[in-house]
């Protein structure tokens, strides 16, 4: 009989699978009391790890010098998910640091004096929204940021990550997400974005970073969320996208980012969150319609048009007299939305996926299995990791916790209601996290505060 030769991909898969199953086997053989303790979220240890990282990072982190707003976001969002917050001194220091990352011509760089970049702009804005409060939110210069977004806009509909940088789906999401949450999204920013995203959906069903590339979990989330925000999600092939996503959950219980790749804890959010967006699509679309329509009413009451806003005017959150005029959504010339652009559940066949109210909706993936992978394989005593054998880091801590939150609230379409006990794996009171707004990956209470602050209705 001929000897079977495994490929490198197969070897790595068998090794990873073996490590994961060994952890599960060990857990299954523990006494019930020890199982109960092992399934707890190490909340205090995680907060200690995260807070120390926000205060000081060692020399080995110098390679992330251009990603410092990301470190702020990963840490602050993780702390918020755990239901905690930083002290006043650390909050002030974080706000002051991010303000020094804000470029005089708009956008945020990876550090003080660095080139403004869409990715770090997204991270900085989400960090400031997560911190919340007048000082934090009013530090965002929306007028300059809007000008920066326009400069990054490419004629093909996509966005460049920075001046002269690459154009990809990640850039589209970070630009549109920031514009949406700050209430500065308009037709000029939206123009042809949908066409660009559509050109990146692959034969597999997922979305690639750019046309002709391979479908990827991170880009799929970014593309899907962007299409929801610009109200063109019905243009995607949602059936094939859903199929591709759910088949990325492997035997280990976690998600892989691409076909034939290894499980990775961060895709608990990128794939799990995208699946939850599909599950709750109609309720999210309804919310976007509500925000969009109410924004038009605010604009109708305005006495100054956005065209009158000076480039030199500082549009600081809810404190600027020009914020309402400049930072608003637009429809067509008549003030009405084009009926052909209306997104309804019937158009994309998802009328039963998610509705408003308390009715539970069935997740598209195995939520308990994913929670088991996160708690037993990704969690360490202070932080989370990609998979067994890897080291903890702030990135995986952020997205493992985000994915865990997605799982816990996956059975109910109403984030204002606590999840059912059966939906939370392990100790309910110790493991329950804060709910997030799926499109922005911001803790929901912070999203609501930002929406009100930037003159969007509650």
DSSP per residue over 331-356, as a string?
A: --TTSS--GGG---HHHHT-TTT--S
Annotated catalytic residue 266: yes
Q: Please say whether the beta carbons of 407 and 419 come within 8 A.
A: no
* pLDDT given at position 291: 56
Distance CA 280, CA 443 (A): 17
Which pLDDT does position 413 carry in this prediction?
A: 64
For the record, the structure tokens of 77 come out as: 């969002």
Dihedral sign for Cα atoms in the order 234, 237, 243, 248: negative
Cα–Cα distance for residue pair 104/67, rounded to 1 Å: 19
Identified catalytic residue from 146, 168, 264, 437: 264
Q: For the chain, percent helix, then strand, then coil, each to nearest 5? A: 55, 5, 40
Per-residue pLDDT of the chain (458 residues; tens, 9 = 90+): 678 889 999 999 999 999 999 999 999 999 999 999 999 999 999 999 999 999 999 999 999 999 999 999 999 999 999 999 999 999 999 999 999 999 999 999 999 999 999 999 999 999 999 999 999 999 999 999 999 999 999 999 999 999 999 999 999 999 999 999 999 999 999 999 999 999 999 999 999 999 999 999 999 999 999 999 999 999 999 999 999 999 999 999 999 999 999 999 999 999 999 999 999 887 666 666 655 555 555 544 443 333 333 333 334 433 333 333 333 333 333 333 333 343 333 333 233 223 333 345 689 999 999 999 999 999 999 999 999 999 999 999 999 999 999 999 998 767 778 899 999 999 999 999 999 999 999 999 999 999 999 975 44
Predicted pLDDT at 321:
30
How is residue 436 annotated by DSSP?
A: E
Catalytic one of 108, 160, 386, 407 = 386
Per the annotation, the verdict on 386 as an active-site residue is: yes
- Choosing from 144, 258, 387, 451, the catalytic residue is 258
Q: pLDDT at position 340, please? A: 35
Which pTM value belongs to this model?
0.85
Rounded-to-integer distance, Cα 71 and Cα 398, Å:
10
What token pair was written down for 304? 């100054």
Q: Answer yes or no: 267 catalytic.
A: yes
**216 a catalytic residue:** yes
- The catalytic position among 46, 142, 144, 216 is 216
Q: What pLDDT score was predicted for residue 281?
A: 87
- What backbone torsions phi and psi does residue 107 show, to the nearest 5 degrees? 85, 170
Of 457, 454, 458, nearest to 182 by C-alpha is 454
In the set 103, 168, 186, 393, the catalytic residue is 393
Q: What is the pLDDT of residue 320?
A: 31
Instruction: Name residue, tokens 């991909």.
Output: 9
| Catalytic-residue membership of 289 | no
Are β-strands 436-437 and 442-443 bridged in parallel, bridged antiparallel, or unpaired?
antiparallel
Q: Which helix (H) or strand (E) holds 392?
A: strand 392-393
**Shortest CA distance to 96 belongs to which of 68, 116, 118, 115?**
68
What integer pLDDT is reported at residue 252 of this predicted model?
98
Q: What is the pLDDT of residue 416?
A: 73
Catalytic residue among 172, 222, 266, 377: 266
Q: How far apart are CA 256 and CA 267, in angstroms?
A: 6
By the 8 A CB rule, do 155 and 182 touch? no
């Amino acid at each position: 009989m001929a000897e079977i030769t495994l490929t490198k991909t197969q070897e790595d898969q068998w090794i990873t699978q073996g490590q994961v199953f060994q952890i599960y086997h060990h857990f299954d053989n523990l006494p019930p009391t020890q199982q109960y303790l092992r399934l707890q979220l190490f909340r205090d240890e995680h907060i200690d790890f995260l807070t120390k990282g926000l205060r000081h990072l060692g020399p080995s982190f110098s390679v992330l010098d251009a990603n410092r707003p990301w470190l702020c976001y990963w840490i602050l969002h993780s702390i918020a998910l755990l239901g905690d917050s930083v002290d006043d001194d650390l909050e002030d220091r974080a706000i002051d640091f991010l303000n020094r990352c804000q470029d005089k011509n708009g956008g945020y760089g990876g550090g003080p004096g660095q080139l403004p970049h869409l990715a770090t702009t997204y991270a900085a804005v989400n960090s400031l929204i997560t911190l919340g409060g007048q000082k934090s939110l009013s530090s965002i210069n929306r007028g300059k940021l809007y000008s920066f977004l326009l400069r990054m806009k490419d004629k093909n509909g996509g966005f460049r990550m920075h001046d002269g940088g690459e154009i990809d789906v990640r850039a589209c999401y970070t630009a549109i997400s920031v514009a949406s949450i700050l209430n500065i999204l308009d037709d000029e920013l939206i123009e042809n974005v949908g066409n660009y995203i559509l050109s990146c959906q692959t034969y597999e069903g997922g979305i690639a970073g750019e046309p002709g590339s391979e479908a990827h979990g991170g880009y799929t989330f970014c593309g899907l969320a962007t299409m929801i925000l610009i109200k063109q999600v019905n243009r995607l092939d949602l059936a094939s996208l859903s199929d591709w996503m759910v088949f990325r959950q492997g035997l280990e219980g976690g998600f892989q980012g691409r076909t034939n790749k290894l499980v990775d804890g961060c895709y608990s959010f990128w794939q799990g969150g995208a699946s939850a967006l599909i599950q709750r699509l109609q309720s999210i679309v309804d919310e976007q319609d509500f925000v969009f329509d109410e924004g038009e009413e605010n604009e109708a009451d305005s006495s100054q048009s956005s065209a009158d806003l000076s480039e030199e005017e500082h549009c600081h959150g809810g404190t600027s007299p020009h914020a309402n005029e400049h930072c608003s959504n637009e429809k067509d010339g008549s003030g009405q939305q084009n009926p052909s652009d209306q997104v309804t559940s019937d158009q994309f066949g998802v009328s039963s996926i998610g509705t408003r109210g308390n009715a539970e909706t069935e997740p598209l993936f195995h939520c308990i299995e994913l929670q088991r992978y996160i708690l037993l394989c990704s969690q360490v005593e202070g932080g989370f990791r990609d998979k067994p054998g890897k080291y903890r880091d702030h990135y995986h801590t952020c997205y493992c916790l985000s994915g865990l939150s997605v799982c816990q609230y996956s059975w109910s379409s109403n984030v204002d209601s606590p999840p059912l006990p059966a939906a939370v794996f392990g100790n309910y009171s110790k493991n329950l996290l804060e709910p997030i707004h799926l499109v922005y990956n911001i803790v929901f209470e912070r999203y609501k505060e930002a929406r009100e602050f930037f003159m969007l209705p509650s």
